């Protein structure tokens, strides 16, 4: 999936219909090509919900608990991370996403349905150069209580070293290293499924969330094993990487950096992304185009 650094849209309209993981409602998503770049938006990827435009950018993040929710005023759209990860990995910088509902469909809990849809849509180059974020100095966020951390250092492309750790002995420590996330996305990252620990699933249901969850779209972790055979021995950490890509896509530009994460999640990922953005706005990094 080697690509020049040009802005891209999809070549034709495509749509997907499915259940939202948390709302349990049927949602239809239509991806619409954008052939003229609108610089008034901080991101060239824009969700269109109830007639309201919600750019896929950090400044529109409303919540990052369990999933990423974007909002503009009173209108919001949730669980955007898997779709954004796929768009980022296909090099698509500009697209309108018409959403009939409040949540992006979960599919099979991974990103393979988005991969198939984007392959069907194809891509088309736009004339402008894609924006690229260059990190001049290492940036780190850390949670002293849990020991979790996320950091970035400058690199020539987006690479990752992610470590996930859990007390369940059959999980232990899972580490995933990839020196080029775009090149390895389709085969090594997109198939990794959403997972949840049984005690967390019960909590979500009590809170009125997870209504669309099932054994078909979520890997459940019990006290003694998994609800289904793993696709990878380290599938849990690979799904964390999938989420990470979607979260970093909210920077609205390519990120040339090596990202190192230990015991991360959406909140930590987005804390790092916000700090990167703050450094850029203060002149301690640069966005090139």
Which residues belong to the active site?
266
Distance CA 144, CA 160 (A): 22
For the chain, first and last CA: distance in Å? 21
Quickly count: other Cβ atoms within 10 Å of residue 288's Cβ. Answer: 13
Q: Which residues pair with 221 in a beta bridge?
A: 197, 226
Distance CA 156, CA 54 (A): 30
For residue 20, the number of C-alpha atoms closer than 13 Å in the C-beta half-sphere is 23
Q: Identify the CA nearest to 152 among candidates 272, 240, 248.
A: 272
Distance CA 186, CA 21 (A): 22
Q: What are phi and psi of 277, to 5 degrees?
A: -65, -40
| Helix, strand and coil percent figures for the chain, each rounded to 5 | 25, 35, 40
Q: Output the six-digit token pair for 200.
A: 């967390």
Distance CA 169, CA 167 (A): 6
Enumerate the H helices of 141-265 as residue ranges. 181-184, 198-206, 235-248
Q: DSSP of 54-65, one letter per residue?
A: EESSGGGEEE-S
């Amino acid at each position: 999936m080697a690509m020049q650094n040009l802005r891209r849209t999809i070549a034709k309209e495509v749509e997907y219909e499915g259940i939202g993981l948390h709302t349990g409602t049927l949602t239809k998503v239509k991806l619409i090509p954008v052939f003229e770049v609108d610089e008034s938006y901080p991101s060239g990827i824009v969700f269109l919900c109830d007639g309201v435009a919600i750019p896929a950018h950090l400044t529109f993040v409303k919540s990052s608990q369990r999933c990423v929710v974007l909002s503009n005023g009173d209108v919001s759209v949730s669980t955007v991370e898997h779709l954004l990860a796929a768009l980022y990995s296909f090099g698509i910088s500009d697209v309108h996403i018409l959403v009939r509902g409040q949540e992006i469909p979960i599919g099979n809990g991974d990103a393979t349905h988005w991969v198939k849809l984007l392959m069907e849509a194809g891509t088309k180059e736009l004339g402008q150069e894609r924006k690229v974020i260059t990190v001049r100095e290492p940036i780190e966020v850390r949670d002293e209580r849990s020991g979790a951390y996320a950091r970035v250092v400058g690199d020539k492309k987006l690479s990752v070293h992610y470590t996930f750790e859990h007390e369940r002995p059959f999980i232990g420590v899972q580490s995933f290293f990839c020196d080029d996330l775009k090149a390895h996305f389709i085969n090594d990252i997109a198939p990794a499924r959403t997972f949840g620990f049984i005690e967390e699933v019960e909590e979500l249901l009590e809170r009125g969330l997870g209504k669309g969850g099932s054994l078909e779209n979520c890997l459940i972790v019990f006290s003694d094993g998994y609800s289904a055979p793993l696709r990878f021995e380290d599938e849990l950490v690979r799904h964390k990487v999938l989420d990470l890509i979607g979260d970093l896509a909210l920077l609205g530009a390519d990120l040339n950096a090596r990202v190192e994460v230990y015991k991360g999640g959406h909140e930590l990922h987005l804390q790092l992304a916000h700090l990167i953005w703050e450094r850029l706005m203060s002149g301690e990094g640069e966005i090139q185009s």
